[in-house]
Chain A
């Protein structure tokens, strides 16, 4: 079988647990010598917004796999607690915080893009994003950049 040569990973959701899988996949691709692009759309944009990217949280409601009943999960501080616990565990695995992960992936040669429709919908500009963002793309441009790539949607 032919090895994978290029991947385009889309991150469309904005909680900490939604963002990390895409970051790990993109970074892992570069580590394997696979060309990688990262596209952020809808609430996924939180991960590259200068003011939001350090504040992503683990959700504690509506997720049976958390093993926390939603009625408990809504209590103040539950999400902050779960977030703290998860960050502690990730640190043990040498997985960096979101901001550093984005820098690392960019330094690794992956390109990072924001979705134009969402940027307009949320009234954002290029200045709202961290410096690693290479551009704001339409869906058509996204497909152009993804030529020859496997597309991963998260």
Chain B
């Protein structure tokens, strides 16, 4: 079932898995609020490095990068990714970045 997510009166449509239905709709206030929903109370500079890298990668390639790629190219390493986005780093980061559900096994 589709869900709606509201931030300051603006409505964002989420798909049934909780990912932003239209990545174009993404903005920083969405990121901040959806992160809170996912248990991340503050988006730090490091979080933003990951989010910006993932959005840029998606824009260029049309797919969500693998976690391995993020760890090598975003400037944030694997250990940090697991502590910044606990309990499922690539899925959480994709949700906060307003991207579709990651499709890779690694």
Q: How many A-B contacts are there with CB distance less than 8 Å?
A: 38
What A residues does B105 contact at CB under 8 A? 24, 28, 93, 95
Distance to closest chain A CB from B3 (angstroms): 20
Q: Which listed segment binds B: A30-38, A74-82, A137-145?
A: A30-38
Q: Are B68 and A93 in contact (CB under 8 A)?
A: no
A54 to B68, CA, bound (A): 19
Q: Are B106 and A93 in contact (CB under 8 A)?
A: yes
Distance to closest chain B CB from A26 (angstroms): 11
Please report which residues of chain A, range 29-48, place their CB below 8 angstroms from some CB of chain B when the two chains form the complex: 30-33
Q: Does B5 contact A (CB under 8 A)?
A: no
Q: Which of A32, A33, A94, A107 contacts B106 (CB 8 A)?
A: A94
**Contact count band on A:** 10 to 19
Q: Are B79 and A96 in contact (CB under 8 A)?
A: no
Q: Does A104 contact B (CB under 8 A)?
A: yes
A124 to B69, CA, bound (A): 35
What B residues does A94 contact at CB under 8 A? 66, 68-69, 104, 106
Q: Are B90 and A108 in contact (CB under 8 A)?
A: no
Distance to closest chain B CB from A70 (angstroms): 30
Q: Which residue of B lies closest to A94 (CB)?
A: B66
Q: Are A109 and B82 in contact (CB under 8 A)?
A: yes
Q: Are B86 and A33 in contact (CB under 8 A)?
A: yes
Q: Which residue of A lies closest to B90 (CB)?
A: A31
Asked, given contacts A94-B66, A96-B68, A104-B68, whether A30 binds B106 with beta carbons under 8 Å apart, the answer is no
Q: Does A60 contact B (CB under 8 A)?
A: no
Asked, given contacts A96-B68, A107-B82, A108-B82, whether A24 binds B77 with beta carbons under 8 Å apart, the answer is no
A-B complex: 8 closest residue pairs judged by Cβ atoms: A33-B87, A107-B78, A33-B88, A94-B66, A107-B79, A95-B106, A94-B68, A32-B88
Taking Cβ atoms with an 8 Å cutoff, the residues of A that contact B are 24, 27-28, 30-33, 93-96, 104, 107-109
